[in-house]
Amino acid sequence: MSRLGVVLLSGGLDSTTVAAMARSEDYRLLALTIDYNQRHRIELDRAAAVAERLGAERHIVLPLDLRGFGGSALTSDTAVPKDGVMPGIPVTYVPARNTIFLSVALGWAEAVGARDLFIGVNALDYSGYPDCRPEFIAGFERLAELATKAGVEGEAFRVHTPLAAMTKGDIVRAALAVDAPIELTWSCYDPTPAGTPCGECDSCRLRAKGFAEAGVADPALP
């Protein structure tokens, strides 16, 4: 019998690729999308379309409004930078975002008996977020054992990060290999009024780099 996997699905290229990879490994998908009142709400619709296309057993969109906390260009009115990918941790960093998202995924996983979490973090082209690093993921796995009834009873949770060591080009190639519905995905942090990607934010730049490296056209572009 195939296992249940809780997949954090934003509707972007990375998480969609991870979900398709989990499906290709015969996991039954529980897709979790966090609606943290992000600027790029179009992601939420894309996440729903991706979950349906991939045959997820359930898709939960969980409202979790981090806007009241401030502290990030993605959840406040701070301008999204457009000057290219810079060294260091950018203003689009959302404090503790992946810790929060993985904790919620852990709660769902434990409630339904799943032991596998999937998240599309990437440590190479990772935009400089601390909570995308392998040491953070390993730390979260250790915490999950201390935090849960299942962990206390000797069961381990595993956080799968199949994109961790990939370049964006690798990710595009992996997406094609597992037939991920790339055309449904959305990456831009700052859509134009017409609802098209801005082409200038870090996320647009990284995405474009990936398709260029893989030598294919981006099927989500108009």
Binding interface with its own copies (CB under 8 A): 60, 62-66, 68-72, 89, 93-100, 102-104, 106-112, 130-131, 133, 135-136, 139-140, 142-144, 146-149, 151-152
CB of 142 to its own copies, least distance (A): 6
Give the C-alpha separation, 45 to 185, whole Å: 9
Residue keyed to tokens 């401030």: 70
Residue 181: CB atoms within 10 A of its CB come to: 19
Q: Which is nearer to its own copies, 32 or 175 (CB)?
A: 32
- Closest approach, Cβ 74 to its own copies, in A, equals 12
How many whole angstroms separate alpha carbon 167 and alpha carbon 210? 7
Q: Is 44 exposed, middle or buried (0-12, 13-18, 19+ CB in 10 A)?
A: middle
3-state secondary structure of 61: strand
Nearer to its own copies, 86 or 221 (CB): 86
Q: How far is the CB of 139 from its own copies (least distance, A)?
A: 4
CB of 69 or CB of 124, closer to its own copies: 69
